Amino acid sequence: MVQLYKQPDPSTVRGEGTEGLSGPGANVTYIPLSELENFLQIHKGHTLALLYYGKGFKSLSPDLYPTIQLDLPQLSSPPLAEVWTSARPARYYQEHQFNAAMNDQVAFGCLQLEESGANGLEATAYSAYSRILRFTQELNYPNLLRIWNHFPAINLKQGGLERYQWFCIGRHQAFLECQVDFGRLLPAATTVGTSSGILQVHFLAGRHKGQHIENPRQVSAYHYPRIHGPRSPSFARATLEEIGARKRLFISGTSSIVGHAIQHTGNPSEQTTETLRNLEALFKHAGIGSTIGIRDLAGEGLLKVYIRNPDDLETVQNTLDTRQTEAPCILYLKGDLCRRALLVEIEGILEIL
């Protein structure tokens, strides 16, 4: 059985935010809500973004930095928040529906857009991506490293297509206009449906290049055949960031898809195991780890596990063998995955030492 390894004592990554402790670029950690206020105090002026998962949080921040509340209910406890910080002091940027925080190496940005007009989600996704691409060019963070997309009713059919497919069309069009080869352009991503809200897109971009990696067990998403939608999903399976001595792998939402077909319909345990096989193949292909399990990878990581049906939580946890992990390193979230038959999806950030 593949076991997910444990994150080292978080106190070692909660220091004063010096480069030695927390690395260049951006740092990310999950913090129990009970410790959040203190953590934000310590990182005053160095916070890049704050993410809440679920509903009804009272924001602690003065909203200088992107604060994002995603209606992806947490299935495990204690409830956690996700905080991105910077060793160097952060600068902040704001325009209509768009917040960003940056240092001299990376920018973390967030767009929150109401769907409007006849084309709704397609046009809104196009607008979001056009603005992100313009922002990253103009402020000189031209390399996208990681993107997350969230919107409600992702599997709902509207005008002959599912909303996810409309989203893919708008996103694809914006990337197409860059006139850059998709294999070099597209970063790791996640697209998971929320229970409520508007279109929320957040991203990390850098002055340094990321290396985008595909999975030999899976057809590249940007080459998916048209049976999955008129425009293919625009993302890489992973992006490897190298900044100074730091190496970090941003792993896209990964699920029980081999080739381009879903495996194990209706079986959450098998889907989880298939997902782990995909992750192992990805790691091997990226030259980190091999046939060994995730837990054997040196370093530390953060994982998000999205589950469609909360009743599957225990099954998924048992299959991952993480029930004993008293980890603030795994967030279990209820989310709607972009194809109806998908029951579980795993994404992660692995620090490679």
Helix, strand or coil for residue 58?
coil
Q: Which is nearer to ligand 3EB, 115 or 347 (CB)?
A: 347
Beta strand 106-113 pairing with 199-206: antiparallel
Residue 200: which of 81, 306, 93, 68 has the closest Cα?
Answer: 68
| Residue 110, H or E segment | strand 106-113
Q: Which of 7, 127, 191, 315 binds ligand 3EB (CB under 6 A)?
A: 191
Question: Which one-letter amino acid corresponds to residue 267?
Answer: N
Smallest separation (angstroms) from ligand 3EB to the CB of 204: 15
The verdict on 348 binding ligand 3EB (CB under 6 A) reads: no
Helix, strand or coil for residue 308?
coil
From the list 115, 345, 347, 351, the catalytic residue is 345
Size of the site for ligand 3EB (CB under 6 A): 12
Smallest separation (angstroms) from ligand 3EB to the CB of 207: 24
Neighbours of 27 (CB within 10 A): 22
Q: Which is nearer to ligand 3EB, 214 or 351 (CB)?
A: 214
Q: What CA–CA distance (Å, rounded) separates 146 from 211? A: 11
- Per the CB < 8 A criterion, the answer to whether 255 and 299 are in contact is no
Smallest separation (angstroms) from ligand 3EB to the CB of 353: 26
Interface positions, 271-290, toward ligand 3EB (CB under 6 A): none
Q: Which is nearer to ligand 3EB, 27 or 271 (CB)?
A: 271
Q: Which is nearer to ligand 3EB, 214 or 241 (CB)?
A: 214
Smallest separation (angstroms) from ligand 3EB to the CB of 254: 7
Residue span binding ligand 3EB (CB under 6 A) among the ranges 19-27, 46-54, 187-195, 201-209: 187-195
Smallest separation (angstroms) from ligand 3EB to the CB of 12: 30
Smallest separation (angstroms) from ligand 3EB to the CB of 351: 21
The verdict on 190 binding ligand 3EB (CB under 6 A) reads: yes
- Binding mask of the shown chain, residues 229 to 258, with x at each position contacting ligand 3EB by CB under 6 A: ----x-x----------------xx-x-x-
240 burial (CB, 10 Å; 0-12 / 13-18 / 19+) is buried
Q: Which is nearer to ligand 3EB, 36 or 343 (CB)?
A: 343
Smallest separation (angstroms) from ligand 3EB to the CB of 238: 10
Query: Read out DSSP for 183-246?
Result: HHH--EEEEEEESS--EEEEEEEESS-EEEE--TTB--GGG--GGG-SS----BSEEEEEETTE
- Binding mask of the shown chain, residues 40 to 59, with x at each position contacting ligand 3EB by CB under 6 A: --------------------
Q: Which is nearer to ligand 3EB, 347 or 351 (CB)?
A: 347
Residue 73: which of 309, 329, 252, 340 has the closest Cα?
Answer: 309
Q: Which of 49, 90, 169, 189 binds ligand 3EB (CB under 6 A)?
A: 189
Active site residue 345: yes
- Per the CB < 8 A criterion, the answer to whether 346 and 305 are in contact is yes
The verdict on 338 binding ligand 3EB (CB under 6 A) reads: yes
Helical packing angle, 313-320 and 268-286, nearest 10° = 40
Beta strand 238-243 pairing with 246-255: antiparallel
Interface positions, 130-149, toward ligand 3EB (CB under 6 A): 149
Neighbours of 181 (CB within 10 A): 8
- Per the CB < 8 A criterion, the answer to whether 92 and 48 are in contact is no
Q: Which residues are catalytic?
A: 345
Q: Which residues bind ligand 3EB (CB under 6 A)?
A: 149, 189-191, 221, 233, 235, 252-253, 255, 257, 338
